Amino acid sequence: MSHIHDYAKLLDDAAHFAHEVEQFDTDNRLSLDDAYAIQAASLARRAERGETRVGVKMGFTSRAKMIQMGLSDVIWGRLTSGMQVEEGTSIDFKRYVHPRVEPEIAFILKKPLEGNVTGPQALAAVEAIAPAIEIIDSRYKDFKFTLPEVIADNASSSGFVIGAWHDPRIDFSNLGLAMTIDGRTVQVGSTAALLGHPLRSLVAAARLSAAAGEPLQAGWIVMAGGATPAEYIKPGQYVSVEMESLGRVGFHV
């Protein structure tokens, strides 16, 4: 188990002090169980610094990305209080290695959601939905990694920004969205890119987090996954996402 904690310290230090590291599993020797164990140990170090658990993020939620990575399932990471960025405020670029942004839809739960649930059961646990932006930031040099490495690195999750919350009873299966940087549209897409319906991402989150012994809790946020390819960001920029029916969310770099 010592290598688990060694890799956890390596990745936690890289995230905490914003410096890149070399890949350590280029020959894919790590199992996915080992990778998630590294992620859990790395996030436990954040808890020791006073961060609290606030939810889950889903990754590789587009069919094309899953095929590209040779996956039969999505991946997931953990969200902490230290990762939340208040909407409309600024992030310090120096806190990141080489950050990118993705437009997403976020859920907040009003009750626990655990195990193998149906779409209607998942929806019944949702308090509200909101437009969101995830800041992803692989700690690996040149943003290159194997599947176990990206899982170990908390699925590249570094920050999240959430807009105004809305009634989840609206149809959010196929909401058009546009991501802009300094007013220039850089990505256009739809929430339907998330496994065909974002609710399927929440169903997967309930199953995977329960299997890890950390079932989804009331008040937790679930980031459903990137609805378009990610875009690099630079200091001085303003990033925003406009989502049909749900409005706008943005932040300054």
Please give the mean pLDDT across all residues of the chain: 93
176-181 sheet: strands from edge to edge? 184-190, 176-181, 238-243, 247-252
For the chain, list the domains and their CATH numbers.
1-252 (3.90.850.10)
Are 97 and 139 a contacting pair, CB within 8 Å?
A: yes
Q: How far apart are the C-alpha atoms of 63 and 40, rounded to whole Å?
A: 26
Say if residue 1's pLDDT is above 60: no
Q: Collect all residues with Cβ–Cβ distance below 8 Å to 133 and sequence separation of at least 6.
A: 101, 102, 103, 104, 160, 161, 179, 239, 240, 241, 249, 250, 251
123-132 tens-digit pLDDT: 999 999 999 9
Give the model's pLDDT for residue 142.
Answer: 87
Greater pLDDT, 142 or 80: 80
Say if residue 241's pLDDT is above 60: yes
Give the model's pLDDT for residue 27.
Answer: 86
Give the model's pLDDT for residue 93.
Answer: 95
In total, the chain counts a number of residues equal to 253
Give the model's pLDDT for residue 113.
Answer: 96
Q: One-letter amino acid identity for 187?
A: Q
Neighbours of 104 (CB within 10 A): 31
Say if residue 149's pLDDT is above 80: yes
Q: Which of 227, 220, 189 is nearest to 205 (CA)?
A: 220
Give the model's pLDDT for residue 92.
Answer: 95
Say if residue 78's pLDDT is above 60: yes
